[in-house]
Amino acid sequence: MLTHPLLDKLRQLRCHGMLESLQEQLQQPDMQSLSFEDRVSLIIDREWWFRENNRIKNRLKNANLRQTASMEDLDYEPSRSLSKAVMQTLSSCQWIREHQNILLMGPTGTGKSFIASALGHKACLEGFTVRYVRCPRLFQELTVAKGDGRYLKLIQQLSKSQVLILDDWGISPMDEGHRRDLLEILDDRHQQVSTIVTSQLPLKHWYDFIGDPTLADAILDRLIHNAHKLELKGESMRKKKSKLNEMNPLGQSQEEEPEQPSTRKNSPPKKQQKGESS
């Protein structure tokens, strides 16, 4: 008798997980054999997981990660110089709890952005807020924000993210405004939250890239001294993937002509060559 009003109240309270669990229990006669406490526990657990999944979805949406990546997808080919032990340690997210940074360096195409996205994805799963930005676009946005009055609000947003991913550091020149903007962001974040930086530039060239000695000292002091430094090597991952396109869907090289089907009836099958799969 009270079932329908109860369901309506759960909808109004937006307890969608509890609503789904209760509806399932009403449709399963075997549930009557469970104790009251067990049935309530199942309903509450469903609501908790429903809300937790929504929180994860929202964190991933707000992170705006460059790529869909996870720690399980990382390629540990020896030529990349990517330590599986190090990545497993970072996967625990203890570096975030201790307000440490991660610096990912290496030639273009070696997977820096993918690794940064995988670390950001793991952080979202563990309950941390993440924000991904490309440095060139970030500096453009900050310049525009100074003109329309959003500058302080944007700086505060960047400062509050528990993990800030600064991708493509060093691919475009920095002017005086960019240097001061970066120092402002890193100063607010220093020893409070964590930052990931990806760059094609070796770490030894960062000081010269910044340009201004005073600001370079201040920026790097806040960034590198409590950072995990990972330097990737090897061939471009994009180049490796592009090699797959050199084969057509039949597994033949594009330079090879496809074999024409025989026009003779009942012709014997072609003898299988060594190395071909049956």
Is 263 or 78 the better-scoring residue by pLDDT? 78
- Is there a single domain that holds both residue 73 and residue 55? no
Domain harbouring 127, CATH code:
3.40.50.300
Maximum CA extent, the chain = 84
Burial call 22-46: b when 16+ CB within 10 Å, e when fewer: beebeeeeeeeeeeeeebeebbeeb
Q: Which pLDDT score, from 0 to 100, does residue 265 have?
A: 42
For 41-94, how does the pLDDT look when each residue is reduced to its tens digit (9 = 90+)? 888 888 888 898 899 999 999 999 988 899 999 988 888 888 999 999 999 999
- Is there a single domain that holds both residue 141 and residue 198? yes
- Is there a single domain that holds both residue 33 and residue 84? no
Secondary structure (3-state) at 111: coil
- Is there a single domain that holds both residue 18 and residue 146? no
- Is there a single domain that holds both residue 115 and residue 228? yes
For 165-224, how does the pLDDT look when each residue is reduced to its tens digit (9 = 90+)? 999 998 888 888 899 999 999 999 999 999 999 999 999 999 989 988 999 999 999 999
- For 274, residues 6+ apart whose C-beta sits below 8 A from its C-beta are none
> Rounded to whole angstroms, how far apart are CA atoms 276 and 273?
6
Residue 256 lies in a domain: no
- Is there a single domain that holds both residue 195 and residue 98? yes
> Rounded to whole angstroms, how far apart are CA atoms 9 and 29?
23
Confidence of residue 253 (pLDDT cuts 50, 70, 90): very low
Q: Which pLDDT score, from 0 to 100, does residue 64 have?
A: 92
Residue 278 lies in a domain: no
* Paired tokens of 138: 């970030």
How many domains would you assign to the chain?
A: 2
Secondary structure (3-state) at 45: helix
User: 43 is in which domain, residue-wise?
Assistant: 3-62
Can you tell me the mean pLDDT for 232-252?
A: 61
- Is there a single domain that holds both residue 74 and residue 118? yes
- Looking at every residue in the chain, the average pLDDT score rounds to 84
- Is there a single domain that holds both residue 14 and residue 95? no
How many beta carbons lie within 10 A of that of residue 103, not counting itself?
21
Q: Which pLDDT score, from 0 to 100, does residue 10 have?
A: 82
- Is there a single domain that holds both residue 34 and residue 82? no
Residue 272 lies in a domain: no
The pTM is what?
0.76
- Is there a single domain that holds both residue 134 and residue 51? no
- Is there a single domain that holds both residue 126 and residue 217? yes
> Rounded to whole angstroms, how far apart are CA atoms 38 and 123?
33
Residue 264 lies in a domain: no
Phi, psi at 97, each rounded to 5°: -65, -30
Residue 251 lies in a domain: no
Residue 274 lies in a domain: no
Element (H, E) at 229: strand 227-231
- Is there a single domain that holds both residue 78 and residue 183? yes
